[in-house]
Amino acid sequence: MKRLCLLLLAVTLPLASLCAQSDEALPILVQVLGATDDPQAQLDILKGLADGLKGRRGVKAPAGWDAVAMKLGTGSNTQVKELVQQLSLVFGSASALADMRKQMLDAKAPTAQRLAALEALVAAKDANLAESLRQLLTDPALRGAALRGLATYDDAKTPAAILALLPSLTPAERRDALGTLAARLAFARPLVAALAAGQLAAKDLPADLVRQIRNYEQPDLNAALDQHWGTARASSADIQKQTERYKALLTAANAPKPDLAKGRAVFAKTCGQCHTLYGVGGKVGPDITGSNRADLDYLLHNILDPNAEIPNDYRTWNLDTKDDRSISGVMARQDATTVTIVTPNESLTIARSDIAKLRQSELSMMPEGLLQALPEEEVRNLIAYLRGKEQVKLP
Ligand code: HEC
């Protein structure tokens, strides 16, 4: 492996990430890093190291790292400095931890730098971070990342802090907030209680999160979801009936003229976290720009019956961490040390040593019942937007 890495590095530096996955090759990368003064080469090697070590914590610092970190950490290139700090954190450096906390909380520092610090601290599972993250919920620049980061910590104060904030959040922030509340059984209970109490409208709780909560297999939660949100899975006879109903609705001769701009807004809220259309949206499901969208039968079939045929890449993976976090998404990458899962909110790289359970489900990551949650007018607008040929302005 060592020889191979030296060879690879001689050919192309970006291959550093491959080498960084083998702990015995790390000192070689560090040696090459220390020997070069070429800023681009430094950046390539650092990026490779960061990529290869993504999701890992407490890795023993390779020989020579401290000296290299000292040299590069005092240079003038901010990107190099950030990567050096991030790696020092992976190698368990206490001073890097302290520096990053300071940066994250410094309201005068550039937002990108604060976000990078926050994300690195969450990835390193900095033990006392939950309280700081809750404080950052008042800061619009860091709120989304803080909401996502809170899922990492099993902290009893988190659900109440997030629920209190719900009414004031933007749609994207609300998704992050709800995603974090669904991520732990201990958080999902107060979330479902808020739904039952009417503090959260059923239409604001996305179907994929409902399914994630159902995965906890708690009879009381499932009963509350049945009552306040809707039932679990449709039979094929139900789907047949729904298809006929929507087809009649959407082809009715006297139907009002649909509003494509409003349809785009429905898409942004109900589909866009997973699908890209005209270059905007998420990457959990396929990009549907080039699909057979103009065809109503194609659309209804795929929306009403997502489990009819599922390409293997899009089956749901359910991952439980050893500290009781649950993650549902599609598998983006697996190797010997880490697993990367893409959820509608983020891409998460988890060290295999942190995983308690990992299983692939029979179901598509695309939930059923998406149209039933919408008023008829919104269904008409959404479908007209989907069947259109070009992007329209949001209302
Ligand atoms: C939680 C993620 C998620 C949401 C939300 C979601 N989808 Fe999907 N969708 C997927 C995945 C994953 C697939 C691929 C697997 C499958 O076909 O079931 C898919 C497949 C599709 C397809 C078929 C694509 C193809 O390649 O033929 C269409 C069309 C589609 N979705 C439309 C929609 C629309 C419209 C909405 C909103 C009403 C929506 N989806 C909401 C994840 C999602």
Residues 19 and 111 reside in one and the same domain: yes
Give the bridge partners for 364, in sequence order: 315
CA 314 / ligand 1 centre spacing (Å) = 9
Residue 314 tokens read as 């899009």
Q: Do 90 and 57 meet the contact criterion of CB atoms below 8 Å apart?
A: yes
Q: Which residue among 228, 252, 268 closes a domain?
A: 228
Count of domains in the chain? 4
What CATH number corresponds to the domain at position 281? 1.10.760.10
Q: Is 277 in the pocket of ligand 1 (CB under 6 A)?
A: no
Range of the domain at 35: 2-121
Dihedral sign of CA atoms 145, 151, 154, 157 in order: positive
CA 227 / ligand 1 centre spacing (Å) = 26
Query: Can you tell me the distance from the alpha carbon of 29 to that of 71, in angstroms, rounded to the nearest whole number?
Result: 15
What CATH number corresponds to the domain at position 327? 2.30.30.100
Residue 392 lies in a domain: no
pTM over 0.75: yes
Closest protein CA for atom 16 of ligand 1: 310
If one residue of 302, 305, 381 were mutated to test the ligand 1 pocket, choosing by the most ligand atoms within 8 A of its CB, it would be 302
> In sequence order, what are the residues at sequence separation of 6 or more whose Cβ sits closer than 8 angstroms to the Cβ of residue 290?
none
Run of H or E residues at 348: strand 347-351
pLDDT, tens digit, for every residue of 85-134?
989 999 988 888 898 999 999 999 999 989 999 999 998 888 889 999 99
Residue 271 tokens read as 């589909």
- Helices (H) then strands (E): counts for the chain: 19, 7
> In sequence order, what are the residues at sequence separation of 6 or more whose Cβ sits closer than 8 angstroms to the Cβ of residue 332?
340, 341, 342, 347
Q: Do 84 and 45 meet the contact criterion of CB atoms below 8 Å apart?
A: no
Q: Is 314 in the pocket of ligand 1 (CB under 6 A)?
A: yes
Q: Residue 13: which pLDDT band, with cuts at 50, 70 and 90?
A: low
Q: Is 275 in the pocket of ligand 1 (CB under 6 A)?
A: yes
Closest protein CA for atom 8 of ligand 1: 366
pLDDT, tens digit, for every residue of 177-220?
999 999 999 999 999 999 999 999 988 898 889 989 999 999 99
Residue 160 lies in a domain: yes
Between helix 94-105 and helix 78-90 the angle, nearest 10°, is: 130
Percent of the chain with pLDDT over 90: 67
The phi, psi pair for 25, rounded to 5°, reads -90, -10
Is residue 258 over pLDDT 70? yes
Residue 270 lies in a domain: yes
Q: Is 303 in the pocket of ligand 1 (CB under 6 A)?
A: yes
